Structure formats: C-alpha cells, structure tokens
Amino acid sequence: MSTGAERGNLEPLALHVPEPRFRPGDAVDYSHLAIPAAGAQPRPDERCQPAETNPLCTDLVRVLGDDHLAVGPWNPRLDADTLRAMLRAMALTRAFDERMYRGQRQGKTSFYMKCTGEEATSVAPAFALAADDMVFPSYRQQGILIARGYPLTEMINQIYSNRADKLKGRQLPIMYSSREHSFFTISGNLATQYPQAVGWAMASAIKGDTRIAASWIGEGSTAEGDFHSALTFAAVYNAPVIFNVVNNQWAISSFSGFAGAERTTFAARAIGYGIAGLRVDGNDALAVYAATRWAADRARANLGPTLIEHFTYRAEGHSTSDDPSQYRSAQEREEWPLGDPIMRLKRHLVALGEWSEGQHEQMDRELAERVKDATKEAEKNGILGQGLHHPFSTMFEDVFEELPWHLREQSEQAIRERRIKWPEQAARDGIV
C-alpha cells in the first residue's frame, strides 16, 4: 500500500464548488450562452429512435425569430384564434400572479409563488395536451389550471384557505388539486410528482387507455433521487409520459450549476437513459407547444417517454419569502437574451396583422378586472386570520372511509372541549 509520502510529487486534490457568473452588483454578460438561430433545428419524425434526438438535447429548439415570425420545421402553424387564446391565458396567469402577490403583502395569505417569465412552460403545454391528459405539476404551473378553465375564485379560495377551500385548508397556498381538470395535487416535497406520473402512465398503458401523463419539476429537483427513479421506470416500461424540466436558472438561491448545469444540459440526461430528449427555448410559446405535441404524439403511439428541458428564466423571486437581490444581479432579468414569453407571442401576432398594441392594452385591463372580481368573490369566504374557515370537526374527515374508534374518541373529546372553551365559536361551527 502506497503512502502519502510516496505520492509527494502529485498535485493535491481540490474540490470544485460551482460559482455563478454574476453576483449582486456585477455587470451581466450572457455571451457564454449559445443561442442558435430560430428554425435551424431539425425535427425528427415522431416515430424515430431515441438516439436520433440526442443532438437536440444540447441544441435549442426555437420557432420565433428576431423578426417575430415563426420559422423552421418546428413551427406548429397554429391559427390566429389559438395564438390569441394562448396569449390570453398567459396574460391572465400573469395578472392573477400580480393580484395574489399584492394579497400576500397585504396579509391576506401567508405565501405565494409567481411564475413571471415562465408562463409559456405551462400554458403552451396545456394547449398541446389533450384536456384529459393527467398532469403532475410542480408549484409554478398555475397556468395549466388557468388554461384548462379552472375557476379563479376556487384558486383564490385555496390560497386563502377559507371556508370555501375545497381542500379544507390542508394544503399550503398555491398547492392546488382538481380531479375534474386532470390536475394532480401539488406537493411541497420536491420531485415526488415524477414517479407518480410514471406510475399513472403505466396504469393507463396497462388498462389500454389513450390518456398520457406529463409532469414538471425545476432544474434543481433533477438532483433528487425521485427524478432518476422515475426515468429508470419510464425507460424500462416505455411509459407514456412527458418529463418537463423547467430550467429557470435558479433553485431558490442556488444557481443551476449546483444541479449539474456546468457539465451539460439537463435534456442530455435523456441520453443516459436511452429515451427521447429535447431542449427548448422556454420563452418561445410556439416552440414549447411544438415540442410538447411531438412528445405527446410519440407517447400516444407507444414510443415511450420524452424529457423536455425548457430553457427559461425566473424573472422574480422564488416566492414571497425570497429576496433575489441577495444572490443575483439586478440586471439579469433585463439582460436575459430570450426575452419575455408574453411579449414575444404578442409581437408575433402583431407581425401577422392579427393583434395590436391597443388590443393588448385593452385585454390587460379586462383581465385585471376579471381577477379583481374573482378576488372580491373569494374574500367573501374569508382571508387569512379572519376565522372564516372550515368547521373544526372537518380535521378528522376524509382520511378513512370509516373513522376508526380511537379517532372517533379523539374527535368527540376535542369537540367537547371546544364547546366548553369557545362556546360562541362552537355555535358558529355548528357544534352543539
């Protein structure tokens, strides 16, 4: 066995710790990013072998060019009505975020998470998927629910955890769930939705159904074991599932290098698992739509899973509990080379002669009023700290079909004590 003394002529080992390129106060320079021309990426046949997509895992699928026109083989050639509907859904999502952010600052809820700058990564897939395809989202895909027509008031009831909250205050704000909209319950535990999506997709295949699954995580969550377990199962069993990785450059205050972005792209992880992979301009709604439709058609043809990396940027804080100025340059958002997804789709419609600045301003005003009206309606059911919540007794419900004897005893004791200590509140809760 050799000793340290015998190896004295060797360089000492050194640990590499990733460092972001910009810190607060630094000038921003994105010249290191390779942004290819729109339309330059080939579009393989949807029935191709997974290896044929390997070059697209390190490229960047783009459709909207600098002249705001759609070009290249990935152009989905959507009609103007669909483009306007997609633009409206993204604008409504942003208007909703703005209102809920203000509500949190006013103390109406404890917590909120905006998706500013990332709207295309949820809204465009919602348009590309079938309405009954099952989605397993992370906590920044509210655009899917909005695009699928979930009532804004119901979303706000959940955020306020009030007496009309269908989840009865049992979930953190913004962790929605809607079976009717094929929207799986959001979890605060990172990446759990990935293996759940694979399991659901496998069950759909076993039953001979035609519905597929799609799931979303941030790039930081690809470091979780659940990510790799999900990809292994999906590859082995050829599950009809779409894996979406929203690479918004920041996992709370940790930049993407800590999840492995210094070595290669996140889409390149598909190569190691032998599944199809695409890297897409996440601020180009048409490219996101086209990639999702390609992956969905492939899954429905029993050709297995696809991993899509959406290369985008989180324009604001991770949540209302976060201050991004403490860890990144304030100029990053303005200098981001791929722009803003809403503005890019708007300019595309204007270039087509199907939209105008005046129409866009009118739409924004209309959507702001719509969100305002929905907020007022939800606030009738209560806000944080107002006491308008679900009856106390509901804390024992919805876990077991029949309440076990020990929980029944606990429930009776708790209700009895509540009646004695707070008789007026008990009366309002219907406890007699």
**CATH number of the domain bearing residue 359:** 3.40.50.970
Q: What is the share, in percent, of the chain residues with pLDDT greater than 70?
A: 97
| Per-residue confidence band for 432, with pLDDT thresholds at 50, 70 and 90 | low
Residues 397 and 374 in one domain: no
Residues 255 and 362 in one domain: yes
For residues 257-279, give the mean pLDDT.
97
Residues 133 and 184 in one domain: yes
- Whether the predicted pLDDT of 2 surpasses 80: no
**Structural domains of the chain, count:** 2
**Secondary structure (DSSP) of 214-270:** EEEEEGGGGGSHHHHHHHHHHHHHT--EEEEEEE-SEETTEEGGGGTTTTS-STTHH
| Per-residue confidence band for 431, with pLDDT thresholds at 50, 70 and 90 | low
| Per-residue confidence band for 385, with pLDDT thresholds at 50, 70 and 90 | confident
Decide which of 411 and 271 is more confident.
271
Residues 89 and 188 in one domain: yes
Residues 362 and 302 in one domain: yes
Of the candidate ranges 132-146, 232-246, 277-291, 399-413, the one whose mean pLDDT is the lowest: 399-413
Could you tell me if residue 261 is inside a domain? yes
Could you tell me if residue 44 is inside a domain? no
Q: What is the share, in percent, of the chain residues with pLDDT greater than 90?
A: 88
Could you tell me if residue 20 is inside a domain? no
Give dist(CA 428, CA 413) in Å, integer.
18
Could you tell me if residue 9 is inside a domain? no
Residue 414 pLDDT: 87
- Whether the predicted pLDDT of 36 surpasses 80: yes
Could you tell me if residue 23 is inside a domain? no
| Per-residue confidence band for 44, with pLDDT thresholds at 50, 70 and 90 | very high
- DSSP symbol at 33: S
- Whether the predicted pLDDT of 100 surpasses 80: yes
| Per-residue confidence band for 144, with pLDDT thresholds at 50, 70 and 90 | very high
- Whether the predicted pLDDT of 1 surpasses 80: no
What does residue 195 show for φ and ψ, rounded to 5 degrees?
-65, -30
> By C-alpha distance, which of 267, 254, 261, 242 is closest to 144?
242
Give dist(CA 133, CA 316) in Å, integer.
30
- Whether the predicted pLDDT of 330 surpasses 70: yes
Q: Which residue bears the tokens 């955890």?
A: 161
Predicted TM-score (pTM) of this structure: 0.94
| Per-residue confidence band for 8, with pLDDT thresholds at 50, 70 and 90 | confident
Q: Give me the amino acid identity at 58.
A: T
Cβ atoms 200, 135 nearer than 8 A: no
Could you tell me if residue 74 is inside a domain? yes
Of the candidate ranges 4-8, 126-130, 212-216, 354-358, the one whose mean pLDDT is the lowest: 4-8
For residues 148-159, give the mean pLDDT.
98
Residues 147 and 209 in one domain: yes
Could you tell me if residue 216 is inside a domain? yes
Could you tell me if residue 22 is inside a domain? no
| Per-residue confidence band for 373, with pLDDT thresholds at 50, 70 and 90 | very high
Cβ atoms 186, 158 nearer than 8 A: no
Cβ atoms 121, 310 nearer than 8 A: yes
Residue 305 pLDDT: 98
Residues 128 and 150 in one domain: yes
Residues 194 and 290 in one domain: yes
Residues 363 and 409 in one domain: no
Q: What's the mean per-residue pLDDT of the chain?
A: 95
Residues 369 and 271 in one domain: yes
Domain containing 415: what range? 392-428
Residue 221 pLDDT: 97
Residue 239 pLDDT: 98
Residue 422 pLDDT: 81
Residue 5 pLDDT: 63
Residues shown for the chain: 432
Residues 167 and 303 in one domain: yes
Residues 418 and 270 in one domain: no
